[in-house]
Chain A
Amino acid sequence: MTVSLINGGRGVYILFFFFFSSWWTEVQMGPPDPILGVTEAFKRDTNPKKMNLGVGAYRDDQGKPFVLNCVRKAEAQIAAKKLDKEYLPIGGMAEFSKACAQLALGPDNEVLKSGRSITVQTISGTGSLRVGANFVSRFHNVSRDVYLPKPSWGNHTPIFRDAGMQLKAYSYYDPKTCGFDFKGALDEISKIPEKSVIVLHACAHNPTGVDPRPEQWKEMAALIKKRNLLVFFDMAYQGFASGDIDRDAWAVRYFIEQGHNILLSQSFAKNMGLYGERVGGFTVVCKDAEEAKRVESQLKILIRPIYSNPPMNGARIASTILNTPELYKEWLVEVKGMADRIIKMREMLVSNLKKEGSTHNWQHVIDQIGMFCFTGLKPEQVERLIKEFSIYMTKDGRISVAGVTSANVGYLAHAIHAVTK
């Protein structure tokens, strides 16, 4: 035993340390998060021209975080009511869950009318995927396999793996075209064993920004039905992709129409700018209302030992917006505004690249959709952008277009041209 005498000024503290070393001696240092690592390096950089094109949070044309007007209004309305802070039910705020499902499926959807779905409020998109992964792991006993598009959001893999599922992939991105590998996707999906889970990004695929066209979605839906796969949609960007919430939810609604009883994760982090408030939903489309009730009871059993019940603040804001006609209208305009700015930055980047004299084909920058763009830049080129120009992005060449402004798009084009000419 080691005895340490420390004079604390007001007395002497005697601390007895255990004979054995710390419990945590064998704990390895966890690898830094690849995306956060980008922001850390960006913060340390003193170059006044530096650009952070790493993490996916929307920025306005001044490069500042954007709090939506409809959010401020909703907050003021809520504050005036002086509501209490009593626990929410395990499944969250009912008015929120209802509005969340309506937003995704459309208010006249037969699924909602028949009551054959259940939506629970979750801790944003991650929390929704986690609950969904746990649900699938516990109750989808006919398969352990989850198929992700190649590539997919980095966090999908560890979430499903930790829930006890096996991760597999289907072809998705074609680096030759910087577009959708439709043929490859169909080919590989046709070989997926029956009853496996297949994850689909509803819109604004992360990280590539490459989405299937409607005719392509239709073929995929038919093939997936033929293969009898369990569809799990991840919709983190509804409204944010095209600027139109119905257009962005088209694939989800089409699949349901075609008879797929889907699982769906939704996030309001980006489309309502509620990132840190953690607002999301998880939906299970069931055979009928009775099954939905059973599923709901099991979701509660899954949720309770993780966090008991979800946080109120963000859900109240989202619910107020979705359920108040004037605020809802205002939200649609603001979400379109964000999407339009992103689209404009894509166009400006390409036109600036042309101005710089780049002879490469940059069409994919305009064809891709949503917050992210898979530039096609190679790791060495990315490295140069970081070191020589203080432009930060992830090694896979993914940029967050939200980090581009009319003030810095010229510099970005100049730098990209410099490393690719």
Chain B
Amino acid sequence: IMSIFGEVPQAAPVAVFKLTADFREDQNHSKVNLGVGAYRTDECQPWVLPVVRKVEKMIADDHSLNHEYLPILGLPEFRSSASKIALGEDSPAIKDNRVGAVQCLGGTGALKIGAEFLRRWYNGTDNTKTPVYVSAPTWENHNAVFSNAGFEDIRPYKYWDAGKRGLDLEGFLGDLESAPDHSIFVLHACAHNPTGTDPTQDQWKKIADVMKRKSLFAFFDSAYQGFASGNLDKDAWAVRYFVSQGFELFCAQSFSKNFGLYNERVGNLTVVAKDQDNLNRALSQMEKIVRITWSNPPSQGARLVAITLNTPELFAEWKDNVKTMAERVLLMRAQLKEKLKALGTPGTWEHITEQIGMFSFTGLNPKQVEYLVKEKHVYLMASGRINMCGLTTKNIDYVAESIHEAVTTVQ
């Protein structure tokens, strides 16, 4: 019989996971994985946060808990405490009862629900033609999330200036100006992925000005709050500034990195609306979207985060754990830059400490990247993106020397 799937083509693997797969197969003792974005300790091990272990045990010991379905929109105490993290405990918008949230499957899930809602309800009831702008470059899954939600016109906005290895503010503002009014812009709240380059506060103000004037929709992607600078409030400055400027916006929050809960899929779509009535109607429609996507979200991770955020001692302990991670990353940045300078590696390396968060856009070209992977067994993305968490005090010399070799050997 002819198979119905006879014509199904083999799809290309997702690059970042292929990189890790290749790394795993590599037998070389010096190999280093600077690919996928997950935190590693100085022993290059995954790190389950001490506060997470503590709360897990609390949950396990509480026999009054069960595995019943959560509401469609998720665990209420998770949703509200997560939104408070993003917008601040004293957020006027929260006090005005115009902030709501949907618990989602990680940051991806939050982007998904937000995208699906916008396509149906944002500017009229069919936004398939509404332009969605994502930064050039951006997290590779942004495109797919929005196109799968039905958006047909996904465009880049200028962001990374390869020449000066920093933000192309002029280009960014120019693209904002030339965007059709009511376009949707996906903004990285902090620790831009993959460049690690964030606008300054003054630059954010300029961005907000144009967006307000042209009625552009702000869809924040916040996957690294706390993880970028070590300070939750500092990392949320941009989102809170936009709220203070009166924007209605979405903020897709992930607790994968800052709680180390990667595989529990803990995310939150925070919705800021003009008033409670508009908020409620929007949430009711999001509920319908959730029901036909996953019905209701997984309970374990949300419970864990809710207990932590709502218990003062645990909240303090969590902030401390987050600071630990952020500080190790900052240390690796400082040391890598120092070593490259000491080696006299051609080029400027200031961007390594100017950039923020998990990733650094090294500026290495594809040939140099290939050299690193093939000859030195140092695995990084073709874009030149490295995960700083993959660096340790034990491998940083090898990595610095390898980069030096790549830059001086390959042009």
Residue positions of A touching B, CB distance < 8 A: 6, 8, 13, 15-18, 20-30, 33, 36, 55, 57, 65-67, 71, 75-76, 79, 82, 84-90, 123-127, 130, 139-142, 155, 158-159, 162, 195, 230, 259, 261, 269, 273-278, 284, 286-287, 291, 293-295, 297-298, 300-301, 304-314
Contact = CB atoms under 8 A, between A and B. Distances in A.
Given A275-B68, A291-B6, A23 B11 contact: no
A291 B3 contact: yes
Given A278-B294, A305-B144, A305-B145, A30 B287 contact: yes
Interface string B339-374: 000000000000000000000000000000000000
Given A6-B92, A304-B144, A305-B112, 5 more contacts: A24-B282, A67-B66, A86-B263, A90-B17, A286-B5
Contact of A274 (B67, B141, B293, B301): B67
Contact of B67 (A15, A159, A277): A277
A300 to B, nearest CB: 7
Contacts of A21: 274
Contacts of A20: 215
Contact of A27 (B70, B109, B144, B282): B282
12 contacts: A17-B274, A18-B274, A22-B275, A24-B248, A36-B72, A76-B60, A79-B57, A87-B36, A126-B294, A127-B293, A139-B5, A287-B1
Nearest to A89: B17
Contact of B273 (A22, A287, A301): A22
A331 to B, nearest CB: 14
4 shortest interchain CB distances as A-B pairs: A307-B105, A30-B284, A276-B299, A126-B295
A88 B260 CA distance: 13
B350 to A, nearest CB: 32
Contact of B141 (A82, A273, A305): A305
B271 to A, nearest CB: 9
Interface string B37-61: 0100000011010001100110010
B14 A304 contact: yes
B301 A304 contact: no
Nearest to B105: A307
Nearest to A78: B60
A313 B148 contact: no
A304 B111 CA distance: 12
A124 B295 contact: yes
B125 interface: yes
Interface of B: 1, 3-14, 17, 36, 38, 45-46, 48, 52-53, 56-57, 60, 66-70, 72, 90, 92, 104-106, 108-109, 112, 121-125, 141, 144-145, 147-148, 212, 215, 217, 244-246, 248, 256, 260-265, 273-275, 278-282, 284-285, 287-288, 291-301
Contact of B265 (A6, A16, A304, A311): A311
A182 B147 CA distance: 43
B288 to A, nearest CB: 5
A18 B246 contact: yes
Given A277-B67, A287-B3, A306-B108, A85 B261 contact: yes
A277 B298 contact: yes
B293 A308 contact: no
Contacts of A127: 293-295
Contact of A57 (B6, B69, B264): B69
A29 B281 contact: yes
Contact of A130 (B52, B124, B144, B293): B293
A276 B263 contact: no
Contacts of A57: 68-69
Nearest to B297: A278
A24 B278 contact: yes
Contacts of B301: 311, 313
Given A79-B60, A261-B4, A276-B298, A24 B292 contact: no
A84 B53 CA distance: 10
A399 to B, nearest CB: 18
A87 B278 CA distance: 36
A159 B278 CA distance: 26
B1 A259 contact: yes
A297 B13 contact: yes
A23 B122 contact: yes
Nearest to B14: A304
A30 B298 contact: no
A67 B67 contact: yes
Contact of A87 (B4, B38, B141): B38
A309 B3 CA distance: 28
B123 A23 contact: yes
Contacts of B265: 307-311
A336 B285 CA distance: 39
B291 A287 contact: no
A308 B117 CA distance: 19
B66 A15 contact: no
Given A75-B60, A79-B56, A278-B294, A307 B109 contact: yes
B48 A300 contact: no
A114 B121 CA distance: 47
A33 B10 contact: no
A159 B295 CA distance: 10
A256 B245 CA distance: 60
Given A75-B60, A87-B263, A306 B67 contact: no
Contacts of A25: 278
A17 B11 CA distance: 47
Contacts of A24: 121, 248, 273-274, 278-279, 281-282
Contacts of A269: 69
Contacts of B262: 85-87
A306 B66 contact: no
Contacts of B282: 24, 27
Given A28-B281, A291-B3, A159 B292 contact: yes
Contacts of A65: 66-68
A312 B122 contact: no
Contacts of B288: 30, 158
A314 B301 CA distance: 11
Contacts of A311: 105, 263-265, 298, 300-301
Given A130-B294, A139-B5, A275 B92 contact: no
A168 B288 CA distance: 21
A230 B144 CA distance: 28
Given A85-B263, A307-B112, A158 B291 contact: yes
A26 B92 contact: no
Nearest to A225: B1
A27 B300 CA distance: 32
Contact of A284 (B5, B104, B263): B5
**Residue among A65, A124, A139, A306 facing the most chain B CB atoms (10 A cut-off):** A306
A278 B298 contact: yes
A27 B93 CA distance: 20
Contact of B38 (A71, A86, A304): A86
